[in-house]
Amino acid sequence: MSDEPIIKFDKVVKRFGDLTVLNELDFEVKKGEKVSIIGPSGSGKSTVLRILMTLEDINGGVVTVGGEPLWHEKAPDGSLVPASETHLRKMRTQLGMVFQQFNLFPHMTVLRNITEAPVQVLGLTKQEAKQRGEELLELVGLADQAQKYPHQLSGGQQQRVGIARALAMRPNILLFDEPTSALDPELVGEVLNVIGKLAEEHDLTMLLVTHEMRFAREVSDRVCFFDQGRIREEGAPEDLFTDPNEERTREFLQAVLDN
Amino acid sequence: MLFGIAWDTSSGWAFAVSILPILLIGMWVTIQATVLGFFIALAVGLVWAALKAAPLKIISWPAAVVTEFLRDTPLLIQLFFLYYVLPEFGITLPAFMTGALALGLQYSAYTSEVYRAGIEAVAKGQHEAARALNLSGGRTFTHIILPQAIPRIVPAMGNYLVSIMKDVPLLSVVTVLEMLNVARIIGDRTFNYLVPLSMVGALYLIMTLVASAGVRLLDNWLPKQGIPLK
Amino acid sequence: MDWTQYLTPLTLGAWVTIELTIYSTVFGALLAFAAGIGKLAHNPLIRAISIGYIEIFRGTSLLVQLFWLYFALPVAGQAIGIDLRLPPVAAGVLALSLNIGAYGAEVVRGAIQSVSKDQYEAARALNFTPRKTLWRVALPQAIPEMMPPFGNLAIQNLKDTALVSLISLSDLAFRAEQLRNFTQDSTTIYTLALLMYFGLALVLTAMMKLLERFVGRWRAGAR
């Protein structure tokens, strides 16, 4: 883990109509760091990931990824102007995302879901992509499901395909947007196992929005508690979970852990 | 000269202006045929819908086959059939009436589906509620189901009204002097088809726009939760 | 005259009807995709052309369109010194395709818009270009949605081919009319013609159902 931040939010503002979701958010993630974001719903957790994945734009501030502004480009005179689609496409190559609802392509087989973007976007040959896809299916424990369609898999299996699909693009940063929230309780474990294995074995930078407190505690280097569009408190998991400084954090943890 | 109105071929514009009143006379026939055909379609379609909903297969099946047949065969042939075959059975109707009847019959197949879908969408659940309240079958239909089905039915029927309007030009083949036929006659006599046929196109655009806007207004005006019938 | 003697001329006409239906359904489908996608384009000119085409051909009568192409277009061509006289078969296929294409375009647009936002987000996260998102992600999912309305349009198109008999193309309707003129046996001839159209419609419906199953074979419950 190096010290330079790979992700940096500098006074980032995001509004939906009258609602301010991110209120001058300052936030940094170091290269290789595994960060969990927790907090009540509507606190802007997922918005942070969606901004990074360029699914939502920003209304103020600057987001930097790998030292380069994400939503801005440097004009010839050095000032920052809103990013073009070309710039966004270049920046997006660093990022991958795992969605709450999996968002697999229903009309493609499992293997095709994983190989389609490497072939169409990265320009890999079908053979290279297939090999990469099979390795990743091995990694997520679904090597025998390659020729099935998503609707033939369980939710947990679909989400593991979702992870493999994101990894196939070889991102530096992997974003997990509540990856287990849509799953039946008995299927949560298999997905968390895969994420845990990734966290252990890879130097990927990982950003995880989750309600699985125990897992967040096990897997992350740092936990951020989001509340009302800002980071209310952050720290090492053992500190934040056992002895939070803020009353709001304590209340929140009390409420979720009681459930 | 047509309908006692002469045209002026001195220039394109003068020609267009002079034939507009003639085309409008044809348009009036188009509108009359549309409305008459539409009401026949509404009435006959309701009969089909009732027959298709009959519990006896010996009634519902033939009704389903007949409506499928009406829907899947060309209006033009149905029109010829009525025009040439009905007189053989001693039924002689004016061409306009035959045309409106053909339109009405073809579209009755479509409207019967609208009735069926509209009533079915409401009937589920509501039937049981009505039975729980001990309402009779007839009262359930007129007081509970129909008022709720009407707001679903009206917009779809409105779209068929517009479709019927666009099919009226077919009536020209049995000598009905609707707008397209009038334009063709003008074209035949002046050797200028471009102006009258383009004007018919433009007038059609206006008619369908107005009719569609009317349907939308009616749809917005109808209360979605249903119309209470006294 | 024995009714079997009508069968040969009517069958000849039915072949013309089948050919017209195939040509105009295929061309109509191409137009439907072009205009349906065009209506969703970012380029305002492409959007305006698509909307103009769709509105004009949905807003006017097919028979008006057919007569315009067959009778009025040559006059317009004369005025600008180009020979725009179309042979009946070209005018017929063109009018039918343009008409059905305009209705189909709305089906295509609606189906593309019905693809969920999640799918577009996944495609964006995987860095697909907008074009590849359309072809690789949106259309394959939208096409099965289009099939039931396309089936209805194909039947509509089959029925509409009867109109070309009015510009003297010898299709089934034309042959029936010719026979009636000749024999005055209208009941038999029109009954046969109606039954033949009905048979064609049933075959076409079955074919569209097969096509629907084929393009949606990946769907849940499809197998």
Nearest chain B alpha carbon to C61:
B166
Q: What is the ipTM of this complex?
A: 0.90
Q: CB distance A53–C125 less than 8 Å?
A: yes
Query: Which residues are CB-neighbours of A29 under 8 A, at least 6 positions away?
Result: A5, A6, A7, A8, A35, A173, A205, A207
Inter-residue contact C173 to C13 (CB < 8 Å): yes
**Given pLDDT bands bounded at 50, 70 and 90, which one contains residue B127?**
low
The closest of A97, A207, A91 to C123, measured between CA atoms, is A97
- Laid out side by side, the sheet with A19-30 consists of A19-30, A5-16, A60-65, A68-69
Domain coordinates in residue numbering, chain B: 12-221
Inter-residue contact A139 to A160 (CB < 8 Å): no
The DSSP symbol for A25 reads E
* Residue B150 predicted with pLDDT over 90: no
B178: contact with C, CB 8 A cutoff: no
Region B12-221: CATH code: 1.10.3720.10
Query: Would you state the pLDDT for residue B134?
Result: 67
Spatial distance between the Cα atoms of A226 and A209, rounded to a whole number of angstroms: 10
Domain coordinates in residue numbering, chain C: 4-218
Gyration radius from chain C CA atoms: 21
Spatial distance between the Cα atoms of C140 and C119, rounded to a whole number of angstroms: 12
Q: CB distance C194–B69 less than 8 Å?
A: yes
Query: Would you state the pLDDT for residue B228?
Result: 60
Mean pLDDT, rounded, for B113-138: 74
pLDDT truncated to tens, each residue of chain A (259 aa)? 456 789 999 999 999 888 888 889 999 999 999 999 998 887 788 999 999 999 999 999 999 999 889 998 888 888 888 888 899 999 999 999 999 999 999 999 999 999 999 999 999 999 999 999 999 999 999 999 999 999 999 999 999 999 999 999 999 999 999 999 888 888 888 999 999 998 888 889 999 999 888 888 888 999 999 988 888 899 998 888 888 888 888 888 888 876 5
Region C4-218: CATH code: 1.10.3720.10
> Averaged in consecutive runs of 10 residues, what is the pLDDT profile of chain C (223 residues)?
81 92 95 95 94 94 94 87 88 95 95 94 94 93 93 94 90 89 87 94 94 84 50
Minimum-distance CB partner of C118 among A89, A101, A169 = A101
B141: contact with C, CB 8 A cutoff: no
Spatial distance between the Cα atoms of C30 and C41, rounded to a whole number of angstroms: 16
Query: Would you state the pLDDT for residue C199?
Result: 95
Inter-residue contact B110 to B162 (CB < 8 Å): no
Question: Which chain C residues are closer than 8 Å to B194 by Cβ?
Answer: 72-73, 75-76, 79
C82: contact with A, CB 8 A cutoff: no
- The two three-digit tokens of residue C156, written as one number: 């509509």
Spatial distance between the Cα atoms of B82 and B70, rounded to a whole number of angstroms: 13
B65: contact with C, CB 8 A cutoff: no
Q: CB distance C163–B170 less than 8 Å?
A: yes
Give the position of tokens 């000269």: B1
Query: Would you state the pLDDT for residue C223?
Result: 42
- The two three-digit tokens of residue C121, written as one number: 């987000």
Mean pLDDT, rounded, for B59-63: 92
Stated pTM of the model: 0.87
Chains that touch B (3 or more CB pairs under 8 A): C
Inter-residue contact C211 to C217 (CB < 8 Å): no
CA–CA–CA angle B115, B117, B122 (5° rounding): 95
Query: Would you state the pLDDT for residue B17?
Result: 87
Between positions 84 and 123 of C, the ones with CB within 8 A of A are 118-119, 121-122
In chain A, where do the E strands start and end?
Answer: 5-16, 19-30, 34-38, 60-65, 68-69, 72-74, 80-82, 95-98, 173-177, 205-209, 222-227, 230-235
Query: Would you state the pLDDT for residue B125?
Result: 67
* Residue B47 predicted with pLDDT over 60: yes
Inter-residue contact A13 to A22 (CB < 8 Å): yes
